[in-house]
Amino acid sequence: MDAATFFTYFGIPTLFILLCMGFVGWIRSKLTKKDFAAKPLKWVGAWCLVGCVIAILLAIIAGIMNTDFVYNHASLVWPFCLSLGALDGHPSLGVGALVVGFMGLMNGLYYTLLAGVTLIVRWALPTKSRPRWMRLQ
């Protein structure tokens, strides 16, 4: 896999997901007047669940529909949609459930990593209202 292909499969979706996470955090902080980074475990856990659910739903849709259609249109929210190839040929129910569960776990871990990155970026940004102990020195 060359650099251009790697960036297409992982770079663009990663940037898109990071922007979405940042936007959601910004909206949440404006609506609730609380910093989204104030409860990091809740933030990371929620994004882990979102990533897992997205992957499982898209894998189920791919199993019902055309795998290639989901693969071609879901890469922005699911960088691991290459794993949809495992669902080609209509595997047995047990194998299909195992593959779908593994895809959900893989995407959930990826979203967890990206949510952690958004927290690090947020903590690195200086804010007057943030307590001194939360600022990176």
| 80-137: pLDDT as tens digits | 776 777 777 777 888 888 888 888 898 899 999 999 988 888 877 766 655 555 554 4
The candidate with the shortest Cα–Cα distance to 12, out of 72, 74, 103, 75, is 75
- Structure tokens that stand for 21 in this block: 């996470």
Q: Full-prediction pTM beyond 0.85?
A: no
Average pLDDT over residues 7-13: 75
Report how far residue 78's alpha carbon sits from residue 81's, in angstroms, rounded to the nearest whole number: 6
Average pLDDT over residues 34-45: 82
Structural domain boundaries of the chain?
A: 3-134
Give whole-number Cα distances, 41 to 37, 44, 47, 126, in Å: 9, 5, 10, 21
The angle formed by the CA atoms of residues 71, 111 and 79, to the nearest 5 degrees, is: 20
Query: What value does the mean pLDDT of the chain take?
Result: 79
Average pLDDT over residues 51-75: 80
Q: What is the pLDDT of residue 137?
A: 45
Which residue reads 């209509």 in tokens? 90
